[in-house]
Chains A and B, each alone.
Chain A
Amino acid sequence: MTMLEAPELRDDVVVTPPSGVLRLLGGCDLSHRAHRERYGDLPAAGRAEEVIAELERSGLAGRGGAAFPTWRKLASAAESGQPGVVIANGSEGEPLSSKDAFLLRHAPHLVIDGLLFVAATLGAAEAHLVTTAPQLPTVQRAVSERQDAGAVRLRETEDRFISGEASAVVNAIERNRAIPRDHVVRLTVSGLRRRPTLVLNVETLAHIAMIVRFGSGWFRSEGTRNDPGTRLLTVVGPAGPVVVEAAGGTSLRDALQAGGVDPSTVRALLVGGYHGAWVPGNALDTPLSPEGLARFGAAPGAGILMVLRRGECGLARTADITRYLASQSAGQCGPCANGLPNLSELMSRIAGRNHDRSLPQRVREVTGLVTGRGACHHPDGTARMVVSALDVFENDVHAHALGLCQETAS
C-alpha cells in the first residue's frame, strides 16, 4: 500500500506538542490543512520493531473496552510477515457510549492518521474504517479531503450492541453480517479472508497518531505510571451524555463533575458500560484506572460512566439493562441465547419485589453457566454486570424480597 505525499507545510510553522489533558479533543472540526498545522504532518511509516517498542514505552492500551496492550497487538500482527489488514473500529455498539462517534465527527483526521500510519508500518494490504451511518458522511468528507487516504475503505455496520466486537467487525466486512465468529485462532493470525487482521478502536488510533508525532514520553506526561495518557469518557447523567477527556487515574468524582454531574446526587455508577460493573456512590474517590477499579470487579472499559441517581432503584435499572442485553444476543450460541433471557427474567422478578429468596442464588448459578461459553464475551460481560448489581445493591435485594425498596422508600 502506498501513501501519497501531502504538500509540504511551510518551514516556519512550529508545532508544539499539546499540553494539558485536552489532547484528542483539543482541536475540533479542523480541516486537514488546519489539522496538519496544529499537529504537524503525519510522520512517514516507521520500522515495525521501532514503532512497537515506542508504543510499549508509552503504555498505551486499547480504548475499545478490552484494554489490551496496543504494542502487543501490533507485534502479533507483525509476526506473520504477510501483508495483512488493519481495521479502525468505530462501531461503538454500546448505546451509552458517544466518545467514538464524537471523535469521528469532530476529529476524524487523528483517527485516519493513526490508521494510515499503522497500515503503512505493518505493510498492510488493506485499511478499513468501520462505523455506523451517522458518522459516515463526516468520515467520508475527511477521507476525500486528504491526498493520502485513497486506500482507506469505509464500511457501514449495524448499530447493534455486539457489532463492535472485533470478529463481528471482520464479519461485517467479509459477510455483511456483524455477528461474532468462533475464535479458533487470533484475528492477528487469521481474520478478514484469512489474512492477519488488526482491529483497533478509533480512539486508540487517535492516540497512536499523537504518540508517533510527540513520543511516548509526551504521552506519559499525563496520567499515572500504570494508567498513562488520557482517555475519552462518556458521562451519562440525567441531562444526557457528555464526552470528556480525562487523564489516567482521575477520580470518578472529578470525571463526573467534568461531565456536569453533581457527585452528591449519585447513588451508584455503572462504570465501563453495560458490560461493566457497579460502583457504589460512597466510592467516588476511586481512580478511574484498571487498578483503582479492580476491587469492584470493574475497569474503565469503553469509558462509560452511567449515573444512577439517589431515589432510583438500582435493581430495576439492572433488570432493564439485562433485558436489553438479552435482546441483543446474536442468538448463535445456546448458552447465551437461552441463558441471558433466563437472567433477564430472574432479574425482573427480583426488581419486581418477588418474595422468592432463592432468586439471587439462581441468578448466580446462571451467570456461572453462561460465562465463557459463547463465541464472544457478551454473556460474560452481562454476567459480570448482573453479579456486581447483586453485590452493590445487596441491601435492596433483601428489601425487595420483603416487598420493600429502600431507595424509593416504598
Chain B
Amino acid sequence: MTPQADTRTMLHIDWTRCDGRGSCMELLPEVLRPDPWGYPLAREGGSDVPIPAHLEPAAADAVGLCPVLALALRSS
C-alpha cells in the first residue's frame, strides 16, 4: 500500500477577486467546471481545491494566467 502523502497542493480561490473570467476552468477542466453563474466550481466545491501531482503544472499556469490574481497555490 502506498502511504498517503502528508502534504497536498491546494488551489486557493480568492472569491473577493474572482470575476468568473474563466481561464482557470479551461486549464484545469478535470478539476474545475463553471457553476450556473460562471464561477469555478470544484468537484467537492469549496475555496481550497486539492490538485493531484500530475496537474500541478496546469494549476501553476492557471495561477499565472488568472487576469485578476484570484488564485494561489498552497501546500497544506
Contacts and interface: CB of A to CB of B under 8 A. Distances in A.
Q: Give the interface SS of chain B, mostly helix, strand, loop or mixed.
A: loop
Contacts of B57: none
A373 interface: yes
Contacts of A335: 15, 35, 37, 39
A229 interface: no
A340 B12 CA distance: 22
B67 interface: no
Given A369-B35, A372-B45, A334 B18 contact: yes
Contact of B15 (A332, A368, A371): A332
Contacts of A180: 16
B9 interface: no
A182 B18 CA distance: 11
A373 B36 CA distance: 13
A146 interface: no
Contact of A369 (B17, B18, B36, B72): B36
Contacts of B39: 334-335, 338, 373
A374 B15 contact: yes
Interface size class of B (residues with CB under 8 A): 10 to 19
Interface string A323-342: 00000000011111011000
Interface string B31-72: 000011111010001110000000000000000000000001
Contacts of A239: none
Contact of B46 (A184, A373, A375): A373
B30 interface: no
A373 B45 CA distance: 7
Contacts of B46: 372-373
A332 B15 CA distance: 7
A334 B45 contact: no
B14 A368 contact: no
A333 B17 CA distance: 8
A182 B17 contact: yes
B19 interface: yes
B40 to A, nearest CB: 9
A181 interface: yes
Contact of B45 (A332, A338, A369): A369
Contacts of A332: 15-16
Given A334-B20, A368-B45, A373 B37 contact: no
B37 A338 contact: yes
Contact of B38 (A181, A334, A369): A334
Contacts of A375: 14-16
Interface in A336-392: 336, 338-339, 368-369, 371-375
B35 A333 contact: no
Contact of B47 (A181, A368, A369, A372): A372
Contacts of A372: 45-47
Interface string A35-62: 0000000000000000000000000000
Interface in A277-299: none
B45 A181 contact: no
A44 B16 CA distance: 42
9 contacts: A182-B17, A184-B14, A332-B16, A333-B16, A334-B37, A369-B41, A369-B45, A372-B45, A375-B16
Ranked 8 nearest A-B pairs via Cβ: A333-B15, A338-B37, A334-B39, A182-B14, A332-B16, A372-B46, A375-B16, A182-B16
Interface of B: 12-20, 35-39, 41, 45-47, 72
Given A373-B13, A373-B39, A374-B47, 15 more contacts: A184-B12, A332-B15, A333-B15, A333-B16, A333-B18, A334-B15, A334-B20, A334-B37, A338-B36, A338-B37, A369-B41, A371-B45, A372-B45, A372-B46, A372-B47
